[in-house]
Amino acid sequence: MAQEEEIKFIVLAAGKGKRMKSQKPKVLHEIFAKPLLAWVLDSIEQLPYESESIVVIGHGAHDVEEYLNNNYKYAKTAHQAQQLGSGHAAAQAVPIIDKFQGMVVITCGDTPLISSQTLNELIKYHKENYSDLTVMTTKLENPYGYGRIIRNHKDEIIRIIEQKDATTDQQEINEVNTGVYCLDWAKIRKAFNDLKNDNAQGEYYLTDIVKWARDNQYKVLGYVAKNSEEIYGINSRRDLAFVTSVMNKRYLEELMNNGVTIVDPNSTFISPETTIEPDCTIFPYTYIEGKNTIFKNCKVGPQAHIRGNCEVGEGCKIGNFVELKNAKIAKNSNVCHLSYIGDANIGNHVNIGAGTIFANYNSITKEKKVSTLQDNVSIGSNSVIVAPVEIGHDAFVAASSCITKNIEENSLAIARAHQREVKNWVNKNKETTDES
């Protein structure tokens, strides 16, 4: 339940991400079919506060804004026409929350591992210590490239110094800036009017709000995030692969701790948005993306692909080289190898033979239709179910049938050409070939 206090979030998502080598905005690159930005916004949404997010967009603004309008209608956008640094980006949100009197958190849109728990701990630390500006920091074994945190004898932060400007002694500091800030907006808001770009890059640095706050006698503290992986930002395809592996490994360990057998964690990828109940077995080379629910005692794979919005009932078997999308499968049903099940409602004790395809998409109208199979239906191998059709209880579809009409319960449907045999066809053709 949301607390009465309202918090505003400024999410920095304007960067191009040159090292991604892509026309797509960096924050729209995906992990488990979900954009980086969405992972951050969902962590914010899970916090126990009334919150509003202002997403600062720039490169590829039209695409990012369209995505937000389609998926996060509550989020507002601020445009950074020119990328003039992180401080300049955050300042673009100022007019939207200018008169706000509460707490503001600034975070990055390219850190998909950031958790609601860590954000909540930052906010609690800020409030409990009566801080005016709190910097989220973390400690790294190898802090190279990160801004170092400089503290005084009171353990307050007095400065953030970038790698290139740090002395040899300062480079030995392993506490670094994560780019996440929690601030008392009424006090720190004025800092964004006073930021300067008198540096070699000619940019406005967000880190300069620390110096501004100290110069104006405000209390600046640092909250040390326990899990340094959460602050990992995506700047390249290698970063994307690394964060995907971290997210995946973390969730696979959670699943195994909760009673799910993962036969080979090194070859299995499962989205954290998929729920899998105990006593399921996930075989190697299975890839599961999006939001799905797999109930207990199921077997999935090897080499299965579940693409989102699927429910797999208790005791089901999803065979090798099977693909599911937007499918609801009830208890004790089998989907055998080399099958595609899309936009389907499948009952209990249904057997879908190998090589079965649900043809659910009309490429002319761009529409997808749903097919329904009632309990105890049996589909013979190499069949095509052309949506929308409904197959009644205990019906049987003969192998290699193309089903385009509804089938009544307890019926056998055969939809294929009659087999014809031309005797001695091979020998006759051989004779013709020899003569030529």
| Catalytic residue set | 337
By the 10 Å C-beta count (0-12 exposed, 13-18 middle, 19+ buried), 3 is classed as exposed
| Distance between CA atoms of residues 60 and 267, nearest Å | 34
Type and span of the H or E element at 435: helix 425-435
State the Cα–Cα distance between residues 294 and 308, nearest whole angstrom: 11
Phi, psi angle pair for 377, to nearest 5°: -75, 145
CA angle 423, 427, 432 (to 5 degrees): 120
Q: How far is CA 38 from CA 62, 147, 398, in A?
A: 16, 26, 45
**Cα–Cα nearest to 53, from 36, 66, 68, 64:** 68
Cβ-based neighbours of 377, under 8 Å, separated by 6 or more: 346, 347, 350, 351, 391, 392, 393, 394, 395, 396, 397
SS3 303: coil
- d(C-alpha 216, C-alpha 214), whole Å: 5
- Are 54 and 100 in contact by the 8 Å Cβ rule? The answer is no
What values do phi and psi take at 416, rounded to 5?
A: -155, 165
How many C-beta atoms surround the C-beta of residue 434 within 10 A? 7
The CA distance from 85 to 78, in Å, is 15
Cα–Cα distance for residue pair 114/388, rounded to 1 Å: 42
Beta pairing class for 361-362 and 367-368: antiparallel
Residue 6's Cβ-count burial label (10 Å; 0-12, 13-18, 19+) is middle
Helix ranges (H only) for 11-144 are: 36-45, 61-71, 86-91, 116-128
Q: Angle, nearest 10°, between helix axes 36-45 and 116-128?
A: 50
